[in-house]
């Protein structure tokens, strides 16, 4: 009886052990692949693209070709290719290896290219596409391996249940042990998952308070809990950052609005209107009143933060019409913005302060008739607006001081700095103002903005 009962029981236990060990090895191998793949830089594309961009434009932030990042990705892919057995996963990781080799060649080709336009073209058509494909295929590999891991786990559970049913027929005691062990293992997974679900419900209701991660014996569940708390922390920081940016934007906008509603400008304009009426130049007075009305209407812009280039042009035109009536012997102007650019948006009160600077700090300081020109053009997917005057200009030392004031909190260049900061807050640090000036020749202020038609596309 001992042999009849024990031998089948030992066979079943032995088979169970073999199946369990086999699944454990397979499970561990796939899990190691997933863990190794997780070492892949999640910001691979952004990091490589940014470093290559700095390299191509010869930026001061350039650290040379980002070959180390590519080498790291190749090492991970090579390691995974040696341990991967799934056909779809092998195809994905082989693609990563091939693309990494291709990416290194394209980088070396850019390094050997001297022409700037060709380097930029290669950056956009080769580097950006290859980094995107590498990152995409790595994520595809992770997807296949994770799916295979899940399928393997399901098969393992099914086979284990079958073997456990067989064991039930031979030993009630073994049944009790197996059920107890199964229940314990189940609770190690289910209880932490229930707690994670409750945590996610709280987060979904808006409670963004960082808590201690849920402690779990299962590594994946522990990683999931840690990831959720890290996500909440990053989300809180991002919300705080966005809130601070919004406050800065509104403070800058308010300060600029205050500067625009200049009582001296209003008083002088009204005095000019009175003088025109007394001189019986009624049509000129009417025209000046209309321009003044348009000026303040566009200044308010019905509370909008951004307006079209066409609206900003009308605002500037109203301002220049008023000033030309006041300084008809001192100033003339021209506005030349192509019609196709007028639909794009920019922060309100961007160009008018620049025109005002050109008049008061350029033309008037030279004390002879000068010309103010406002032009626009599209260039490399961006809009370039230029305000040029034939005024006094600046020395090299003074020009450097004004340029420095765009980013430093000095009292100089308040109007320029405010416009520059508002553009960067709304569109990003790659946009803003730049200046050129020559003493006794004139000054040019260059405004660079993206080609956007909706404020939903802006950085904030």
pLDDT at residue 33, rounded to an integer: 75
- Percent of the chain at pLDDT exceeding 90: 12
What are the structure tokens assigned to 350, written together? Answer: 């961007």
Q: In the structure, what pLDDT confidence band is assigned to residue 264 with cuts at 50, 70 and 90?
A: low
Structural domains for the chain: 2-170 (1.20.120), 172-246 (no CATH), 261-457 (3.30.565.10)
* 52 against 14, higher pLDDT: 52
Q: Euclidean distance between the first and final Cα of the chain, in Å? A: 80
Average confidence (pLDDT) over 362-371: 81
- Percent of the chain at pLDDT exceeding 70: 82
Closest CA to 260 of 155, 341, 373, 355: 355
pLDDT at residue 130, rounded to an integer: 87
What phi, psi does 49 have (nearest 5°)? -60, -45
CA dist., res. 310 & res. 322, Å (int): 19
Closest CA to 363 of 375, 372, 354: 372
Average confidence (pLDDT) over 364-388: 89
pLDDT at residue 434, rounded to an integer: 93
Average confidence (pLDDT) over 438-446: 91
What phi, psi does 72 have (nearest 5°)? -60, -45
pLDDT at residue 259, rounded to an integer: 55
pTM of the predicted model, to two decimals? 0.46
Average confidence (pLDDT) over 359-375: 85
Judge whether 351 and 415 are in contact, CB under 8 Å: no
Eight-state DSSP code of residue 412: T
What are the structure tokens assigned to 421, written together? Answer: 């900061």
CA dist., res. 213 & res. 229, Å (int): 6
Q: Which of 37-46, 92-101, 272-281, 336-345 is most confident?
A: 336-345
pLDDT digits (tens, 9 = 90+) for 280-322: 778 877 877 887 777 777 666 555 778 899 988 988 888 888 8
Residue with tokens 């042009």: 313
Average confidence (pLDDT) over 139-143: 83
Average confidence (pLDDT) over 94-102: 88
pLDDT at residue 251, rounded to an integer: 63
Average model confidence (pLDDT) across the chain: 79
pLDDT digits (tens, 9 = 90+) for 154-196: 777 777 777 777 666 666 766 566 666 667 777 777 777 777 7
């Amino acid at each position: 009886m001992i042999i009849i009962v024990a031998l089948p029981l030992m066979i079943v236990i032995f088979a169970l052990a073999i199946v369990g060990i086999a699944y454990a090895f397979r499970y561990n191998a796939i899990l190691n692949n997933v863990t190794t793949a997780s070492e892949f830089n999640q910001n691979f594309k952004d990091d490589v693209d940014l470093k290559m961009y700095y390299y191509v434009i010869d930026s001061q932030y350039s650290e040379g070709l980002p070959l180390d990042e590519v080498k790291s990705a190749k090492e991970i892919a090579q390691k995974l290719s040696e341990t991967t057995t799934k056909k779809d996963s092998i195809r994905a990781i082989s693609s990563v290896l091939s693309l990494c080799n291709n990416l290194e060649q394209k980088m070396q080709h850019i390094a050997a290219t001297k022409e700037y336009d060709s380097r930029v073209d290669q950056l956009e058509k080769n580097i950006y596409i290859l980094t995107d494909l590498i990152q995409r295929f790595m994520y595809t590999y992770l997807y296949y391996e994770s799916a295979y891991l899940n399928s393997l786990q399901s098969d393992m559970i099914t086979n284990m249940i079958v073997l456990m049913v067989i064991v039930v027929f031979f030993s009630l005691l073994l049944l009790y042990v197996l059920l107890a062990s199964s229940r314990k293992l189940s609770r190690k997974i289910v209880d932490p998952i229930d707690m994670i679900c409750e945590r996610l419900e709280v987060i979904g209701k808006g409670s963004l308070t960082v808590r201690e991660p849920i402690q779990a014996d299962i590594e994946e569940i522990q990683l999931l809990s840690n990831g959720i708390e890290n996500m909440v922390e990053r989300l809180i920081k991002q919300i705080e950052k966005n809130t601070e940016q919004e406050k800065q934007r509104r403070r800058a906008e308010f300060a600029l609005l205050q500067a625009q509603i200049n009582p001296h400008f209003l008083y002088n304009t009204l005095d000019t209107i009175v003088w025109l009426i007394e001189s019986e130049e009624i049509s000129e007075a009417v025209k000046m009143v209309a321009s003044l009305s348009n000026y303040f209407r566009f200044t308010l812009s019905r509370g909008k933060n951004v307006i079209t280039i066409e609206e900003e042009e009308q605002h500037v035109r109203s301002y220049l019409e008023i000033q030309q009536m006041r300084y008809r012997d001192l100033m003339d102007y021209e506005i030349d913005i192509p019609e196709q650019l007028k639909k794009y948006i920019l922060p309100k009160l961007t160009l008018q302060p620049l025109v005002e600077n050109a008049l008061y700090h350029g033309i008037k300081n030279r004390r002879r008739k000068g010309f103010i020109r406002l032009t626009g053009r599209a260039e490399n997917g961006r809009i370039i607006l230029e305000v040029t005057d034939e005024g006094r200009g600046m020395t090299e030392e003074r020009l450097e001081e004004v340029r420095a004031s765009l980013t430093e909190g000095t009292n100089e260049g308040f109007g320029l700095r405010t416009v520059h900061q508002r553009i960067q807050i709304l569109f990003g640090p790659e946009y803003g103002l730049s200046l050129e000036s020559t003493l006794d020749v004139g000054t040019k202020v260059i405004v660079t903005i993206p080609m956007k038609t909706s404020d939903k596309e802006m950085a904030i």
